[in-house]
Amino acid sequence: MSELLAVTRDLFDDVMVPNYAPAKMIPVRGEGSRVWDQTGREYIDFAGGIAVNGLGHCHPKLVEVLKAQGETLWHLSNVMTNEPALRLAKKLVAATFADKVYFCNSGAEANEAALKLARRYAIEQFGEHKTQIIAFHQGFHGRTFFTVSVGGQAIYSDGFGPKPGDILHVPYNDLAALAEVISDKTCAVVMEPLQGEGGIIRATDAFANGVRALCDKHNALLIYDEVQSGVGRTGALYAYQGLGVTPDILTSAKALGGGFPIGAMLTTSAIAAHFKVGTHGSTYGGNPLACAVAEAVLDVINTPEVLAGVKQREQLFRDGLAAINAKYHCFAEIRGQGLLLGAALNDDYQGRSRDFSLAAIEQGLMVLVAGTNVVRFAPSLVIPEADIKEGLARFEQAVAQVVQG
């Protein structure tokens, strides 16, 4: 048996494409909301793998299901179907507005499918002229060339040559701006009900309802990107359910697999009918391993106890962050909903969100950023209250470190 390769952070620089700049520490084990690195140092996880680990690390139910499925059936092509995929699809349909589900591997792939379906539907229903897609500044919808072009952040899409056409961007939460450009040529409006990468910005009720009305007026589909806001993150299974607005297409990923890669696009039967056999596909989409784990995730999260617990934990975070800000005066506001929260930095600390993130690591806490001006929190939905308290204490030490220099 060959010896295990000694792994250090320097090895990343030797063998990996340099599109990431990971932290110096290397986590090797996780349990619940705590992680340990190669040296045995413990960290509290307020990042959740960017809102992915909705049930924390190595949740016993997910481990049990993964082991059982791993000993049963790993993969089939979509020439066949499988039991875990159909069970998961049935549960997603039962829990949402949707009639039909398409499985893939990631949020980007789910959004790619949604955008392609919207265009196919519009062209077949209304004609070749109806191809315009409207999205919002600071939106984020994935890293395929189509989805990154629809996302409203040019920094991610510039520099790769000609972009897919007939895409417009308008300011988020600005209904008048949308009304000015939407027309009968618009095939779809795509939005996050709670912008994640763009700064943890919630859609106002008036905006969400107004977008729905404008889409209806112009026979445009409304696509909700719930890759980050879905699967319990806001205290509802999907954020649209708390807004009282129903989309035509919804995308889901991240927490859906609890850490195992899976994405899904949900829609109605009438719209789904336009993806006829052969029009779209995914080799790994509907993989039995992924779907078995995701079914277990859904079973645990989609319960009154867990969803109510998200809102209770949100208040603990808000109270704790307010107490920190009362001492150090570095946040302009605490944004977001449920356990997708952002501490927006005030004028004195603009551009320094990464400084807070790095200081947190030094204090044994994992947090995220959402741009240069927002510190983002997306912990496990079932994080123990004791871990919230301890994590906020560590975050206060990190804030003091930044503020006091």
Binding site as annotated, residues for pyridoxal 5'-phosphate: 107-108, 140, 225-228, 283
| Cβ-contact 255, 235 below 8 angstroms | no
Question: 162 by DSSP, 3-state: which?
Answer: coil
| Token pair listed for 247 | 């989309």
Q: Are strands 368-369 and 374-377 parallel, antiparallel or unpaired?
A: antiparallel
| Token pair listed for 222 | 């409304």
Please list the residues that pair with 344 across neighbouring strands: 333, 374
Integer Cα distance of 164 and 148 in angstroms: 10
8-state DSSP, 230:
T
Backbone angles phi, psi at 227, to 5 degrees: -60, -40
Residue stretches of the annotated binding site for N(2)-acetyl-L-ornithine: 143, 282
Residue stretches of the annotated binding site: 107-108, 140, 143, 225-228, 282-283
Question: 126 by DSSP, 3-state: which?
Answer: helix
| Cβ-contact 356, 368 below 8 angstroms | no
Integer Cα distance of 146 and 161 in angstroms: 12
Q: Are strands 221-225 and 34-37 parallel, antiparallel or unpaired?
A: unpaired
Residue 218 burial (CB count, 10 A) = 17
Q: Tell me, yes or no, if 395 is annotated catalytic.
A: no
Identity of the amino acid at 381: L
Integer Cα distance of 207 and 136 in angstroms: 12
| Cβ-contact 114, 323 below 8 angstroms | no
Residue (of 195, 145, 190, 201) closest to 168 by Cα position: 190
Q: Tell me, yes or no, if 140 is annotated catalytic.
A: yes
- Of the candidates 45, 225, 248, 387, the residue annotated as catalytic is 225
- Of the candidates 45, 130, 254, 317, the residue annotated as catalytic is 254
Q: Tell me, yes or no, if 225 is annotated catalytic.
A: yes
Integer Cα distance of 401 and 360 in angstroms: 9
Integer Cα distance of 338 and 196 in angstroms: 13
- Of the candidates 140, 207, 317, 331, the residue annotated as catalytic is 140
Catalytic positions are 140, 225, 254
